[in-house]
Structure 1
Amino acid sequence: MDLRQLEYFVAVAEERNFTRAAQRVHISQSGVSAQIRRLEKELGAELFDRSGRSAELTVAGEAALEHARAALAAAGAVGQAVGEVTGLLRGNLGVGMVIGCTVTPLFDALAAFHEAHPGVELSLREDNSDRLVADVRTGSLDLALIGAETEPEGLDSLTIVAEPLVAAVPAGHELDGNAVSLAELAAHPVVCMPSGTGQRAVFDRACAERGAQPTIALQAGAAQAIADLAARGLGVAILSRSMAAEFDELTAVPITDATEPALLALTWRPGAGAAARELVRYCCAAFRISVDQVCRSEVTAR
């Protein structure tokens, strides 16, 4: 029995299909099947019921799966421990980024990290902030750049930007040049981020606290799309102050009673591995944040 056989076994068990498992582990289906047969011969029991269209675990397979996963995790931990001692980071690192938010310093950090630690395979996924936080909690992601009302509880976090929301309108709009309250804003259609994003959560909470009921005319996940829609007169854009400043065709109008800032923050699990902690430090350098703040953040979160 070797780790390769266990890896193939787990892949088939999770995919419930030999073809998909073979694609996942990057070898031929016949190769996966042969290795599984050798493993079954060594164990003296069939691990899969192959009579149906999908590969279903037998009772023996069910009993073996948890132990196979544990063996693979233990083998990975051995490599990680040695890597930490020798300074050679290896493995996989999943990074999340809030959708519609192009943040150049994050890309700079990923590039610098990859150059310094080519043994770590990086993956980057966009999603809304709620799902990114959930995936960091479960370990599906190691680190995420999120938009939020507040830093997530139970996770280590570091705020990159904290700034208020504004209403952004084209020249000549009724609100152009004036501060506006949420009640006044409710008289106009609004274009904003969808639910599950930090900016939307901040906006919805401010409206609820003030009893304002704006009409959400259109939603988009990217600031550029929101700005384009607002510039065409389809609604008042709700954006963070720095986002609104990027669009010359719009004027940022302060919202007098939406004072809570929207956050852009890095978040990761307490006790994250060496690769994740190292990437946090690269992010700090790219965003020009003191590494001491990370240390304080970790202590506070715990």
Structure 2
Amino acid sequence: MEWRYENGELAVRPDGPFSAAETLFCGQCFRWRQTADGFEGIAHGRALTLRERQDGTVLLTGLEESDVPLFLHYFAFDEDYAALQRRLQRSKRLAECIRCAPGIRVLHQDFFEVLLTFIISQNNNIPRITGIVARLCEGFGAPLAGGGRAFPLPCDLADRTVEELAFLRAGWRADYLLDAARKVASGEVGREKLARLATPEARALLMTIRGVGPKVADCVLLYGLERAEVCPMDVWMKRAMARRFPRGMPLCARDCAGVAQQYIFHAERTSFRPQGGPG
């Protein structure tokens, strides 16, 4: 990876492929939108713009120089995806899935944001999820210098009532959002506590939050706690694994199954049909 920060703009040449559209709209985050000349989003309390040049350079504006390490990590630019993909491509079927969307990267997001957005995502569609998240931030998030609002902190929600969340139009999820905020604000299910636990124990602790089942817990572990070995399973993924990988995740992907599942999920969602036998 090569990068340069100058005049308020971060220019990055990542190792391996990167596509903003494939990464930002593959179902792992909900605060980005595409514009006429790039992408606009809010992450880690910053309002950002992102543009991609023909030579593969990614341009980010809206950052302070002190933010650079955080956002190199947020976009996984500090990881060698070229080497990672070469390893995953030892499986023929994984190689075919990667070819569907080679520019996907797993983002490293804020733990609390991932927890709440994936509670909202249950039995929901992307436009509605995006709308609820936008209203949540507008109602309770701090205003940002670059425009828009930050994602609410646990303390911004912990003392609220279900009635105060009615404007979100989140339905039964509102009670779950409040329970999550209260447990995180109290430290009962805090990020630091989860980070000290092995993955099975961390999953079990997350599932003490009302409305958090195995799939939501695994999304939090992968996207918000950097447990790359965790593979969230929904209907699409269960179907994909049964059809494409009946013997289970290939050995070359066992310690990064969460990254592999992004390629598999995209391939399944776009109805890609691989050739040949199991990988």
Give the TM-score normalised by the residue count of structure 1.
0.23
Give the TM-score normalised by the residue count of structure 2.
0.24
Greater Rg by CA: 1
